[in-house]
Amino acid sequence: MQNPFGNGNNGNNGDNNEGPNGLPVPPNYATVVKEEGDIRISKVGFSYTTFLFSFLVPIFRGDWYNLLCMLGVNLGVVLGLYSIHFSSIQTFNIVTSVLQFALSFVWGYLYNLMYFRHLFNRGYKPATQRSKDLLTSSGYLPKAKK
């Protein structure tokens, strides 16, 4: 199969057919696998889906641990916000909107890291050397000690 994410006719340099049944995977995606054969493919880097849809992403991935972490942090921020006395409801609404945007931005940066780290704790390993190099260079995997 021709790799739509590769370099075309540059040999195997652009090939990363590590998806199910040898399907190509985009260059900024990593594949991790468990000994039982369970495969997970996810993006490395900023998660635009988490930025836009926040709690729906861990629900659709079945990532209940990180969903509860996100809900807990957001609940703590909201309860902290309600403990502050504001002079008007308009000020409260502005502060709430700014904090919600800031939290969405933070979750966009952190969610994929949290997702991969949780998978590693559950026994997943990088499926290929390319995935391992990508995860290590992005700081998702600790660098090997020499």
Is the predicted pLDDT of residue 56 greater than 90, yes or no? yes
How many Cβ atoms are within 10 Å of 16's Cβ, its own excluded? 22
Whole-model pTM? 0.81
Is the predicted pLDDT of residue 83 greater than 70, yes or no? yes
Q: Where are the domains of the chain?
A: 30-137
Half-sphere exposure of 51 (CA within 13 A, CB side): 9
- pLDDT class of 146 with cuts at 50, 70, 90: low
- pLDDT class of 10 with cuts at 50, 70, 90: very low
**Region 103-128: what's the mean pLDDT?**
94
Under a CB-based contact definition with an 8 Å cutoff, are residues 70 and 54 in contact?
Answer: yes
13-44: per-residue pLDDT in tens?
555 666 677 778 888 999 999 999 889 999 99
Measure the CA–CA gap between 124 and 40, rounded to whole angstroms. 9
- pLDDT class of 11 with cuts at 50, 70, 90: very low
pLDDT value at residue 144: 67
Is the predicted pLDDT of residue 9 greater than 50, yes or no? no
Is the predicted pLDDT of residue 63 greater than 80, yes or no? yes
Measure the CA–CA gap between 51 and 57, rounded to whole angstroms. 10
Range with the lowest mean pLDDT among 115-119, 120-124, 138-142? 138-142
Under a CB-based contact definition with an 8 Å cutoff, are residues 48 and 107 in contact?
Answer: no
